[in-house]
Amino acid sequence: MTTTASPSASATRAAQILSRPVSLNGLTVPNRIVMAPMTRQFSPGGVPGEDVASYYARRAAAGVGLIVTEGTYVGHESAGQSDRVPRFHGEEQLAGWAKVADAVHAAGGRIVPQLWHIGTVRNAGDPPFADAPAVGPSGLRPDGTEGGKAMTQADLDDVIAAFAEAAAAAERIGFDGVELHGAHGYLIDQFLWEGTNRRTDAYGGDPVARTRFAVELVAAVRASVSPTFPVLFRYSQWKQDAYKARLAETPAELDALLTPLVEAGVDAFHASTRRYWLPEFDDSDLNLAGWTKKLTGKPSITVGSVGLDGDFIKAFQGQGAETKTIDDLLDRLERDEFDLVAVGRALLQDPQWAAKVLDGRLGELGAYDPASLRSLA
């Protein structure tokens, strides 16, 4: 039987559960709210400016426990496809990012950059380096079409070095950790998924062999930073062109994928799903983040439409009978099924979202409205 809590009870419970601190290796995050990475293309020339620093600092000041930046290209010419997406290499670009980190810290926040290489998603002639070819494990795009070149050993080594150099730069300029983008059909994920990895060498074949590139990359990143500097790894089953794609059909297959990454040095996993409340495998209510923590023992971040559902808002405010979304989220957090909750579009729309939740001002939450996202400030 579903029960509906009063608005004050819902507010108190949400604030109490979400306000608990959590540790990610050497970093203490003051609460359970994470800002999910969201590409905005507001960095001309790949340089994050004062507006980008202000954008993140506003959300830090409003109580977001951990900010994961929008994806930022590592120092490999094939990494990206836009001259307005920030880059995490180059003197001017890193100077801009240092100011972002300083602004977030001045506002009391914690921040990690998401390091990114898009692989064969890139089209020929795309900026910021028009002559750079698209590269991937087998020259296949996530939709199965041909696109780009299969990476040589030299290519693999260059990309791994670019991630390691970016991670070292992140620590040097004052960030609190790094997140490696291994999800959504981009380069790292292209190696993990059999749909795009058709290699017959040591980097392809069975599921464990397909982790080799990611494992070597994680190990290089881990070696480039201090032992207590957190290394997060974002992954997903789904791809942008294949929502039903799966890396693992069973918990055992997921364990085989994640264990080598843990051994290589991952401190926490960001398990990306489109709807966080859906169970990942049959015969269990655990979502992907829940299974990730159960199998690895590492902290996990759940994500997927948090704060967008009208029923979610009504449940927060104690209205109506359909309270599964918020009650389920809080129940799972309370029993530590996963450790943190990433909020994307709701935080994009309302920079004060975290403060309203943590302060019990749930009556001020509004339903998600895509039309309101004009300035993305």
- 22, 31, 88: which is closest to 60 by C-alpha? 31
Domain 13-365: state its class: alpha beta
pLDDT digit string, tens, across residues 330-341: 889 999 999 999
Domain extent listing, the chain: 13-365
Q: What is the pLDDT of residues 20-52, one digit of tens each?
A: 999 999 999 999 999 999 999 999 999 999 999
Distance CA 159, CA 213 (A): 10
Residue 173: pLDDT above 90? Answer: yes
- As a whole number of angstroms, the distance between CA 55 and CA 42 comes to 10
| CB burial string 257-281: b at 16+ within 10 A, e below | bbebbbebbbbbbbbbbeebbeebb
Beta-bridge partners for 71:
114
The tokens of 25 are what?
């290796």
Give the pLDDT of residue 316. Answer: 41
Q: State how far the Cα of 296 lies from the Cα of 116, in Å rounded to an integer.
A: 24
What pLDDT sits at residue 310?
A: 45
Checking if the pLDDT of 315 tops 50, the result is: no
What backbone torsions phi and psi does residue 295 show, to the nearest 5 degrees?
-80, -35
Question: Coil, strand or helix: which one is 194?
Answer: coil
Is the pLDDT assigned to residue 307 strictly greater than 70? no
Q: Which positions are annotated as active-site residues?
A: 186
Q: Are 368 and 311 in contact (CB under 8 A)?
A: no
The confidence score (pLDDT) of residue 31 equals 97
Report the length, in residues, of the chain.
377
Q: Quote the CA–CA distance of 103 and 95 in Å, as a whole number.
A: 13
Can you tell me the distance from the alpha carbon of 289 to that of 367, in angstroms, rounded to the nearest whole number? 25
* Helix (H/G/I), strand (E/B), else coil: 322: coil
Peptide bond into 128 cis (omega under 30): yes
